[in-house]
Amino acid sequence: MLLNVENLSLSLKKDGSYLKILDDVSFQVEKGETLGIVGESGCGKSMTALSIMRLLPDKAKLEGKVNLEKKEITALSKKQLEKIRGNQISMIFQDPLTSLNPLHSVGKQIGEALYLHTELSKIERKQRVVHLLKEVGLPRADEIVNEYPHQLSGGMRQRVMIAIAMACNPRLLICDEPTTALDVTVQAQILDLMNKLKQMNDMGIIMITHDLGVVAEVCDRVIVMYAGKVVEQGMAEELFANPKHPYTIGLMQSIPKLGERKNQLGSIPGTVPSPKNMPLGCRFADRCNKAMDICRGKQPSTVEVGPNHTAACWLYEEKGVGRYDASRGERSEATFHH
Amino acid sequence: MDAIQYISKRLLLMIPILFGISVLTFFISHTIPGDPARLILGPKADPVIIKELQEKMGLNDPVYVQYGRYVSGILQGDLGNSTYTQQAVVNDLKRYFPATLELTLFSMIITVLVGIPFGIISANKKDKIPDQITRFAALIGVAMPAFWLGIILLLFFYLQLGVLPGAGRLDTWVSPPAHITGMYTIDALLTGNWPVFQSAFIHLILPGITQAAVTIGMITRMTRSSMLEVLRSDYVRTAYAKGGSQNRVLYGHALQNGMMPILTLIGMTFGHSLGGSVLVESVFSWPGLGKYAVNAITYLDFPAVMGVTLLIAVLFIFVNLIIDIFYQVIDPRLKYE
Ligand SMILES: Nc1ncnc2c1ncn2[C@@H]1O[C@H](COP(=O)(O)OP(=O)(O)OP(=O)(O)O)[C@@H](O)[C@H]1O
Ligand SMILES: [Mg+2]
C-alpha cells in the first residue's frame, strides 16, 4: 500500500470558532493506481489533499493518521515535511495561471525542486530540466527553460507545473482539478500525459475533480465525498455501473448527455449543508429522494455494498449490520441504543 | 527595446520636465514680495545705492530677460551667486548637499534593513504577538515627531551616557578627508583613513536613526500589507508544495513579488529626504541642504532657492528613474515598455 489515510478529521478556525471540515475520512492508494475524489464544491476535496501535504492554514486541527509507505506523515516535523514535499509527494493545482511565480523563469522554477531535493550540480540540473520539459511534451524545450510564465499558454503552464511535480520522481502525485481551467482538447492531452507518466514512474495518483468524465477516463478507483465525509467508495467501473448512494446516483444522472445543456450536478435539488450547522443524521438526507425517518436522526455507518464497494447509507444498513465497524465507538453505541 | 535605449529615452524625457520646473521656481520666487537688494544693504542704506545695486543685479530688467539670463547660466553650470553667502550657488550646493546625501543614504540603509524584515515577519505572523508588537512600534515611529525623538536620543546617548557625539559631522580635532564625493565616511574609506571614518560614522548614528524612525514605520507597514496580499497567492503555495522552507518562500518568492509598492515608497521617501530634513539637521547641527534652504528662504536669497529647488527636482526624477529600472529588472512582464 502506498498511501493510507485513516480516520482523518480536520477542523479549521473561521470567525473565532472551529468548524469541522473533514469528518472521519479514510481511504487508500496503491502503487500505480489512480484514485479519484469527486464531490460538489466545498465538500472538502482540496482540504483532504492539503491535509496529506500538511499544507493547511495556520490554525488547523488535524486528527487521524496519514501514512506514506512506512512513513507517518501526520507525525513529521516541519523540517521532515520539507524533505517529503515536492520529493515523495507532489501536488498540482487547479489554476496554472496563478500557480507559477510570475517573476521566475520556467527553468528556475523546475530547477528549484531539484535544488531542494537532489545533489545535482547546476549544469546537471539544467540538463534535467530540459529533459523534463521534453517529457511533459513541451516543444522548444531549450527556449522555454528561459521563458517566463506570462509567455506561455494555460496548457503549457500546466505542463510546466507537471514538470515541477515530476522533477524528483514522486511516489504520490496529488492533482487538484488539474484540467478545470483548460479547454477540452488541452484537458485530454494533459490527462493522457499524466497516465503516461504514472506508468513510467509506477507512482500513485490522487485525482481530485468534480468532472465525472475525467474520472471515467483516468481513475481506477473512486471515492465520493459529501459535506466532509466519504459517502461511497469503489472501483471506477463498478461505481459507474452500479452506484449505490443516492448522492452518487444523483451525480451520475447529472452528467449532461450529448446535445443536452445542463449545469454540472444541476439535477440534485437543494444545497450542501454548511459546516456551521451540520445535520445530526445523514448529511445528504435533506436532498435525498429516498430519505427515511432514521436518516435525519442518526448518521449511517459505512457498509459493504458490493465487491470492494462501500457506501454510507441507511438503505443498505440491514445488510451491513454484521460488518459494523467497531472503531467508530461513539456512533456504534448510539446505534445500539435502539 | 533594450536597456540602454530605455534609459536614454527616459533621460530625454527629463528635459521638458526640467524646463517646466525652472520656469515654475523662477516665477514663484519672483512673485514673493521683498527686495533682495534692500535686504543685502540693510534697512538704513542710501536709496541711491540700493537703486544702483538693483540695476547691477538686473532686478529692473523685464522678468523674461532675467529668466533667460538664469537659464543660460544653468546651461553653463552657473546657478548665480547667493546673495546671502556671497558664494556661487553651485559651490554652496557642492558643500552642503553631500552632507545631506550621506545622512539620507545612511538612514535609508537602516530603513531597508529594519523595515522590510519587520514587515515580512509581521505579515507572516499576522495577528500573532510579533505582528502586534511590530505594528505598534511602526505606529509609534510614524506618529512620533522626528525632532522630539532626536532630542530624546541626544539627551540619553550624548548628555547622559556620553557614548555618541551630539553635533556636526566630525570631531573637532579631526580634519575632513580629501574631497572626493564630499561624503566623509566614503571619502575616508577611499583614502584609507580609518580614524576619520570612525569619527564620521559615529556622528551619523544619532541623526541617521532619528531620520530613519519615521521611514521605518512607513516601510514596515507597506511591506506588511504588500506581503499579506502576496502570501495568499497560489505560487506561494506552490513554493511550499515543492518543499521550500519558510524563509526560502518568504525571501525567495514572496518578497520579490511584493516589492513593487515597497520600492515606490522607498523612492518617494528617499527623494524626500534628499531635500534635507530641516528639523533633524537643526537638532544635530548637521550642515546639510535643509538648513541651507531654510536660510535661503529666510533671506530671500533667490538664486539659492532656485538652485536648491532645481537640484531636488533633478534628484527626484533620477530616483524615480532608478526605481523604474529596478521594476524592469525584477519583473520580466514589464521588459522596457
Ligand atoms: N482557510 C479556510 N478556513 C476555514 N474554512 C475553509 C478554509 N478554506 C476552505 N474552507 C472551508 O472548507 C470546506 C472545504 O473546502 P475545500 O476547498 O476542500 O472544498 P473543495 O471540495 O475542494 O471545493 P471545490 O470543488 O470548490 O474546490 C469549505 O466549506 C470551505 O468553506
Ligand atoms: Mg478545491
Q: Ranked by mean pLDDT, which of A24-28, A180-184, B58-62, B330-334 comes out on top?
A: A24-28
Residue A337 above 80 pLDDT?
no
Same domain? A189 vs A115: yes
Q: How many CB pairs under 8 A join A and B?
A: 68
- B15-55 per-position pLDDT tens digit: 888 888 888 877 776 776 667 777 777 778 788 888 888 88
What range does the domain containing A283 cover?
228-258+265-332
Whether the predicted pLDDT of A132 surpasses 70: yes
Q: Please, which residues 229-248 of chain B have a Cβ atom closer than 8 Å to chain A?
A: 233-235, 237-246
Residues A215 and A278 placed together within one structural domain of the fold: no
A310 - beta bridge partners? A233, A304
Q: How far is CA A314 from CA A304, A319, B323, in A?
A: 12, 10, 67
Does this model's pTM top 0.95? My answer is no
- Retrieve residue B305's grid coordinates: 532657492
C-alpha cell at B273: 529626504
| Residue of chain B whose Cα is closest to the Cα of A151 | B333
Boundary of a domain, candidates A203, A225, A247: A225
Check whether A301 has a pLDDT greater than 50.
yes
Sheet with A302-306, side-by-side order of all strands: A89-92, A172-176, A204-208, A34-38, A221-226, A229-235, A309-312, A302-306
DSSP state of A299: P
What are the pocket residues of ligand 1 if the criterion is a CB atom closer than 6 Å to any ligand atom? A 12, 14, 21, 39, 41-47, 57, 210, 275
Q: Whose CA is nearest to atom 8 of ligand 1?
A: A47
Report yes or no on A337 lying in a domain. Answer: no
CB neighbourhood size of A125 (10 A): 19
Q: Say if residue A319 is in the same domain as residue A190.
A: no
Clarify whether residues A235 and A199 are in a common domain. Answer: no
Q: Which of A255-269, A274-288, B227-241 has the lowest mean pLDDT?
A: A255-269
Contact (CB<8Å) B332/A100: no
Look at residue A322 and tell me whether its pLDDT is greater than 60.
no
Look at residue A257 in the predicted model and tell me its pLDDT.
58
Q: Which residue has the higher pLDDT, A182 or B100?
A: B100
Domain assignment present for A338: no
Q: How many domains does chain A have?
A: 2
Pick the CATH number of B98-287 from 3.40.50.10740, 1.10.3720.10, 3.40.120.10, 2.30.30.90: 1.10.3720.10
Give the per-residue pLDDT at A122. 95
Whether A14 and chain B come into contact, CB under 8 Å, resolves to no
Residue A203 and residue A70 in one domain: yes
Segment B123-141 shows an average pLDDT of: 91
Does position B337 have pLDDT exceeding 70, yes or no?
A: no
For the cut 70, the answer to whether the pLDDT of residue B14 exceeds it is yes
* Structural domain includes residue A43: yes
**How near does any CA of chain B get to the CA of A51, in Å?**
12
Query: Which residue among A225, A243, A277 closes a domain?
Result: A225
| Contact status, residue A178 vs residue A92, Cβ threshold 8 Å | yes
Nearest CA to ligand 1 atom 26: A41
Average the pLDDT over A276-301 and give the result: 88
The pLDDT, as a whole number, for residue B24 is: 83
The answer to whether B182 and B94 have CB atoms below 8 angstroms apart is yes
Q: Which residue of chain B has the CA closest to A173?
A: B241
Calculate mean pLDDT across residues A237-244. Answer: 92
Tell me: do A182 and A295 sit in the same domain.
no
Q: Are residues A216 and A234 in the same domain?
A: no
> What would the mean pLDDT of A315-333 be, rounded to a whole number?
50
Tell me whether A53 touches chain B (CB under 8 Å). yes
Looking at CA atoms only, how far is residue B24 from chain A in angstroms? 41
pLDDT confidence of residue A329:
38
What is the pLDDT at residue B19? 86
| Mean pLDDT across B65-92 | 85
B113 to chain A, minimum CA–CA distance in Å? 23
Mean pLDDT across chain A, nearest whole number?
87
pLDDT bin (cut points 50, 70, 90) of residue A267 is low
Per-residue pLDDT averaged across A91-120, rounded? Answer: 95
> Does residue A33 share a domain with residue A173?
yes
Same domain, A27 and A123: yes
Q: Is the pLDDT of residue A55 over 80?
A: yes
CB–CB of A161 and B239 under 8 A?
A: no
The mean pLDDT value for A198-204 works out to 89
Once rounded to an integer, what is the mean pLDDT over residues B250-272?
Answer: 92
| Residues B241, A83: C-beta atoms closer than 8 Å | no
Distance from residue A307's CA to the centre of ligand 2 (Å): 30
Per DSSP, the residues of A184-198 read HHHHHHHHHHHHHHH
Average pLDDT, chain B: 88
> Which A residues 279-308 touch B at CB under 8 Å?
none
Looking only at the bridges linking them, the beta strands covering A3-14 and A17-29 are antiparallel
DSSP bridge partners of A206: A35, A174
A92: CB partners within 8 A, 6+ apart = A99, A158, A161, A162, A165, A173, A174, A175, A176, A178
Whether the predicted pLDDT of A260 surpasses 60? no
- Alpha-carbon torsion, ordered A126, A132, A135, A140, to 10 deg: -50
What is the model's pLDDT at position B336?
61
First to last CA, chain B: 7
Among B235, B244, B330, the residue with its CB nearest the CB of A98 is B235
Is residue A28 located within the same domain as residue A9?
A: yes
Q: How many helices (H) and strands (E) does chain B have?
A: 15, 0
Kindly identify which residue of chain A lies nearest to residue B244, measuring between CA atoms.
Answer: A82
Q: Examine the domain organization and report whether A148 and A292 are in the same domain.
A: no
A122-135 vs A106-117: helix axis angle to the nearest 10?
Answer: 120
Give percent of chain B with pLDDT exceeding 90: 42
